[in-house]
Each structure stands twice: as C-alpha cells, then as structure tokens.
A and B are shown apart, each in its own frame.
Chain A
Amino acid sequence: MEGLERILREHPFFAGLGDASADLVCGCAKNVRFEAGQYLFREGEPADQFYLVRHGRVALELSAPGRGAITIQTLGEGDVVGLSWLIPPYRWTNDARAIDLVRAIAIDGACLRQKCEDDHDLGYEMMKRVVPILVERLQATRLQLLDVYGVRA
C-alpha cells in the first residue's frame, strides 16, 4: 500500500494532495497494465474506473460509420485517462486504447465518488483537479474543430 500511495502522490494529477485525501484516494486505487491494442474502456460503458498513466500511451478514439476509428487525442505518462467518472451520467463518451504497453493506476470511480459525497473537502479537491483538464481539452477540441491548418474558405 505504501508503494502505491507514493506512486499516486508523485503523479502530476495528485501533486500536492494532502495526507488525509491521499489516504482516501488510495483506498480506491490499484496497479494495472494493458497490452498494446487492449482497450482501457469503450464508449457507452459505465465510467466506473479512471486511469493515471505511469508509462506508455493511450489513444482516445471515436468510431465513425465508414471511417473506422478516428484518434481524437493521445495521452501518455503523467496524464489522466477518463474524466466522465465524476460527471453524470458517468458513461464513457469515447474508446480508450493502449497504443503500447501501458502501466497505470486504476481508480475505482464509484468508490471515489462515494468518498467525495461523504467528504466534500475531498470532492472539491477532485473538482479542482478535474475541471482544468476538462477546460484544456475543450479548448483543444475547439482548435481542432476550427481546422486551423485547412485552406481558408
């Protein structure tokens, strides 16, 4: 458990987390690995686990009819894969596929959500960490939508 807590606190997502909160999060965490090509989760499934990547890269994908899987973002060491665990209706909105061997910490979203309900300090702490990532990804999506490298109409 000690090793896991140290790894967790060293991950950028949990940087500066207080002792009490780290304890609570740790109770919902475990080490996992995925082989290249394996899916961490699939679109539409309940978002009951999210991942702190320690090693390797993950592709977030959307499947479009006739176009196959489109990669919308890749994430790697130090990134969080999956934010929908904190936001109703707690369902994944894309697929997440391991590009190469991925080592990560999996956190049980339902477990952590319950702890956030019971302890709003922890809940606020999680919100403060998740919302900036959401905003950053929203900005990035907007830039991608603008298709800035295309020929101006």
Chain B
Amino acid sequence: MVPRIARLRRKRRDGPQVWTLDLELEDRHASEAPRFAPGQFNMLTVFGVGEVPISVSGDPAAPDRLVHTIRSVGAVSSALTRLAPGAAIGFRGPFGTGWPMEETVARDVVIVAGGLGLAPLRPALYRLLADRLRYGRIVLLYGARSPEDILFRSELESWRRRLDIAIEVTVDHATSAWRGRVGVVPALVARADFDPLHAIALVCGPEVMMRFAVAALRDAGVADESIYLSMERNMKCAIAFCGHCQLGTVFVCREGPVFRHDRIRGLLALKEI
C-alpha cells in the first residue's frame, strides 16, 4: 500500500516532547477525505526515516483536518515532531477498529485515560459531547505523569466547566504548586459517579495502567463485556500481513487496536513477540 502525500499545516506543542500536528492530504478531493472512526490510527511516514502508527486525535466531524498528537520517543516520532509547516508526510489509513460508539448510546460512559492515551480517546469525547443527549452520565478519569504532562490542558479545563460531564484529573507526582489531585488514575474509579450495570468503559494508556484500571472497573461492578481497551503493539504493514503486531492469534492492526476486554483477557499480560 503506497502512502499518499500529506502536508503539515500547523503544529502545536501539547506537553514536553508532545506535539499535535494538523495534516492535509495533497491529492484531496472533498469526496475522498478519509472519514475515520474514533480510535482508529494512521501510518505516518517521514521520508528517509521511517513509518509509525499514530492515532487520530482530532474531531471526527471535521475529517478533512487530519489531527495527530505525537510524543517524540525515537527516530521516527522525533522526526515527525521536528517537521516544519509545509513539510511532506507519507500517509496511509485509517486503520483498525475504533471505539464502539454505537454501544455507548443510552449508557453511562466511563473513559479512563493515562498519559498519551487521552489522544485516541479525544475523538470519542468529541463525538459524545457533540451529541450529548444520546448518552447517560459521561465520566472522564485522566492520569498524567506530572502537571506539566497533562495533555490538551486548556480543552480539559473548558470541558470541566460544563455541567454535563464529570472530569477528574490526577498526576503521579507534583510539587506543592499543584493544587489538583496526586495519585494513580485507577484509584479514581471507585469514587466516580456512574451506574456500573449500565456503563460502558473505554480505557487507553500504558498497559500496566490499563490492567489496574480494568481491575478497578471490575471491582466497581462493570462487566468484562462492557470494558474496551486500546492496545499498542509494534506495527509495520498495518494490513494483517507482516505479523509484527500479533498478540497470540490476533492481529492488533486489523482486529484492534480497540478490543473488548473479555476477548483479550488472557493476552493482556503477554509480552511482545
């Protein structure tokens, strides 16, 4: 699958080493703007460096703005965040299953995000808030490393002013200048206000954090069938061909990255192969 060419339109700093990039497809025709579902990802290439999977973090109602939030951790991700507006980027996608948005209708929705895991959940939040009346309570529990690492901070602050969504943010450590919560995000689940029997949970973050979050959700009474996780595995082809992303018998690039917990329960603790 040959990448299409996208141009970097705009970039914003969203934390230490984290940048949000707005891309625009060069060969774009209005009819073929790649519609994406919340939770899907694209393969982005920096020519001469390499290709990496990055989740869409933008608004699904504005698909012609291809928004990605990237943390610079290695060769390709740091090359992406260093690009200047106007630069060309290879683009393939969207890939993967998204969050089960239809399943969320008429239920309480509990979103548990850790670190950069908020990025693939932001499109889901846009969708939920755009059509607020279709859902029950909406709860967002977000954990970051430190106050400086809180992603999309001004947006979180403005959502927090709304009366129809409950948002709790916690950080792992802070100095006394921080007046918010300090503690781990799974610990927020027990205190959150939702009906576990009618709730659906969307969880994304580092795997250890997800394991603890799932345990807390189950302790609160949420059924395995109502818990969805997004799994990150190294990827190369993104079309279920190379086997790089395999987790047991499943291809994360095709059957994932979003999985229902009861379907991957046994695989969650598996090491990468």
Cβ of B143: which chain A residues have Cβ within 8 Å of it? Answer: 149
Residues of A at the B interface (CB closer than 8 Å) are 59, 61, 67-74, 78, 97, 99, 136, 139-140, 143-144, 146-152
The stretch from B3-11, B24-32, B204-212, B222-230 touching chain A is: B204-212
CB of A99, distance to nearest CB on chain B (Å): 6
* Inter-chain contact B176/A74, CB cutoff 8 Å: no
Q: Mark B169-187, 1 if CB is under 8 A from A, else 0.
A: 0101111101111111011
Partner of B183, one of A68, A140, A148, A150: A140
Q: Please name the 8 residue pairs, one residue from A and one from B, whose CB atoms are nearest each other, closest first.
A: A149-B115, A149-B145, A148-B206, A71-B182, A140-B184, A74-B182, A143-B184, A151-B73
Cβ of A59: which chain B residues have Cβ within 8 Å of it? Answer: 176, 182
* Inter-chain contact B181/A149, CB cutoff 8 Å: no
Cβ of A148: which chain B residues have Cβ within 8 Å of it? Answer: 114-115, 205-206, 208-209
CB of A30, distance to nearest CB on chain B (Å): 26
In the assembled complex, the Cα of A71 lies from the Cα of B171 at a distance in Å of 10
Residue ID in chain A nearest B180 by CB atoms: A74
Interface of A, secondary structure class, is mixed
Known: A136-B187, A148-B115. A69 touches B212 (CB 8 A): no
Number of interface residues of B (CB under 8 A): 30
Q: Mark B54-95, 1 if CB is under 8 A from A, else 0.
A: 000000000000000001010000000000000000000000
* Inter-chain contact B175/A70, CB cutoff 8 Å: yes
Tally of contacts, chain A with chain B, CB under 8 A? 67
Question: Could you show 11 A-B contacts with beta carbons less than 8 Å apart?
Answer: A59-B182, A68-B175, A71-B174, A71-B178, A74-B170, A78-B191, A144-B173, A148-B114, A148-B208, A149-B143, A152-B73
* Inter-chain contact B145/A147, CB cutoff 8 Å: yes
Residues of B at the A interface (CB closer than 8 Å) are 71, 73, 114-116, 143-145, 149, 170, 172-176, 178-184, 186-187, 191, 205-206, 208-209, 212
Residue ID in chain A nearest B143 by CB atoms: A149
Cβ of B187: which chain A residues have Cβ within 8 Å of it? Answer: 136, 140
* Inter-chain contact B184/A149, CB cutoff 8 Å: no
A69-B175, A74-B180, A149-B114 known; 20 new pairs, CB 8 Å cut-off, are A59-B176, A67-B175, A70-B173, A71-B182, A72-B173, A72-B182, A73-B182, A73-B183, A140-B183, A140-B184, A140-B187, A143-B184, A143-B186, A143-B209, A144-B172, A144-B173, A147-B145, A148-B114, A149-B116, A152-B73
Cβ of B209: which chain A residues have Cβ within 8 Å of it? Answer: 143, 148-149
CB of A46, distance to nearest CB on chain B (Å): 24
Cβ of B170: which chain A residues have Cβ within 8 Å of it? Answer: 74
Known: A143-B209, A148-B209. A99 touches B182 (CB 8 A): no
Cβ of A139: which chain B residues have Cβ within 8 Å of it? Answer: 212
* Inter-chain contact B115/A97, CB cutoff 8 Å: no
Known: A136-B187, A144-B173. A149 touches B208 (CB 8 A): no
* Inter-chain contact B212/A143, CB cutoff 8 Å: yes
CB of A134, distance to nearest CB on chain B (Å): 14
In the assembled complex, the Cα of A70 lies from the Cα of B71 at a distance in Å of 25
CB of A111, distance to nearest CB on chain B (Å): 30
* Inter-chain contact B172/A97, CB cutoff 8 Å: no
